[in-house]
Amino acid sequence: MSKSALVFANGLYTPADLELARRLPFDLLIAVDGGYRVARQIARPHIFVGDVDSLPQDLAPELQNPDLDVHTFPPDKDATDLELALLLAVERGASRIHVFSALGGRWDHSLANLFLVLHPRLARRDIVFHHDGQRLFPVWDQVRLQAQPGDTVSLLPLTPQVHGVTLRGFRYPLENGTMQAGSTLGISNVVETLPAEIRVQRGVLLCIHIPQQVHQRIETAKTPLGGAR
């Protein structure tokens, strides 16, 4: 039977992330090292994965809980804790994986985390990264967005070229187009009508979905360089 997993890494998170995570159904709650401090705000984690280098010391005794499936690794290894956690989630039967606290802060980790969707054992998996109301996920073939008119959608090639890109229901439609890595062609499109669909024949796109209210909140929070006058 397929399962749904919530995975909490040791990055930044917001109240909006916690609010969403509490609404999502899940079968597995996986804490990734220091992400344990966040995951435990949702429910008691089922699995812990990490090298314990970012776990707060006051929480370390909780790893002794016999109901917690603990997988520890040495700090010197060839894969990040999040990579190991996602592979374990798939091994445990997760067909849909929601990842929280994996973006923001360190650019090296944020980018590496997103590129994990190209991992041979994670390719074509239903993996969604959540960050402060925004959703980021790969498009391998076809997807119908869970979106509303006015939402912002950006598409970035994860492969050198993405062929046969068709966009329906968007302000800027595309029919059997080609998108090149390094181009900003797919930035800041807008959902016009439903259903909003993205189709890809060959290659992989990263879809960033920003709901309209989230976009407005981000714009409102911006301040002029040097502060308000």
Residue 13 · residue 100 · CB < 8 Å: yes
Which pLDDT band, with edges at 50, 70 and 90, does 119 fall under? very high
How does 141-151 read in b/e, with b if 16+ C-beta sit within 10 Å?
eebebebeeeb
Q: Residue range 187-191: average pLDDT?
A: 98
Q: Is the pLDDT of residue 212 over 60?
A: yes
Q: Is the pLDDT of residue 226 over 70?
A: no
Q: Is the pLDDT of residue 150 over 70?
A: yes
Residue 190 · residue 151 · CB < 8 Å: yes
Residue 173 or residue 228, greater confidence: 173
Residue 123 and residue 82 in one domain:
yes
**For the chain, percent of residues with pLDDT exceeding 90:** 90
Mean pLDDT, the chain, rounded, equals 95
Q: What pLDDT does 6 receive? A: 98
Residue 119 and residue 148 in one domain:
no
Which pLDDT band, with edges at 50, 70 and 90, does 201 fall under? very high
Residue 185 lies in a domain: yes
Domain that holds residue 55: 3-132
Q: What pLDDT does 168 receive? A: 98
Q: What pLDDT does 221 receive? A: 82
Q: Residue range 149-163: average pLDDT?
A: 98
Q: How many domains does the chain have?
A: 2
Angle at 29 between CA 23 and CA 31, to 5 degrees: 120
Output the six-digit token pair for 122.
């994670």
Q: Is the pLDDT of residue 113 over 60?
A: yes
Residue 150 and residue 101 in one domain:
no
Domain boundary among 132, 161, 196: 132
201's CB contacts (< 8 A; 6+ apart) are 141, 163, 164, 165, 176
Residue 63 and residue 170 in one domain:
no
Q: Quick one: which of 84, 65, 68 has its CA closest to 9?
A: 84
Which pLDDT band, with edges at 50, 70 and 90, does 1 fall under? low
CATH of residue 196: 3.40.50.10240
Residue 150 · residue 210 · CB < 8 Å: no
Q: Tell whether pTM > 0.85.
A: yes
Give the model confidence (pLDDT) of 21-59 as tens digits. Answer: 999 999 999 999 999 999 999 999 999 999 999 999 999
Q: Quick one: which of 34, 32, 37, 30 has its CA closest to 6?
A: 30
Q: What pLDDT does 100 receive? A: 98
Which pLDDT band, with edges at 50, 70 and 90, does 217 fall under? confident
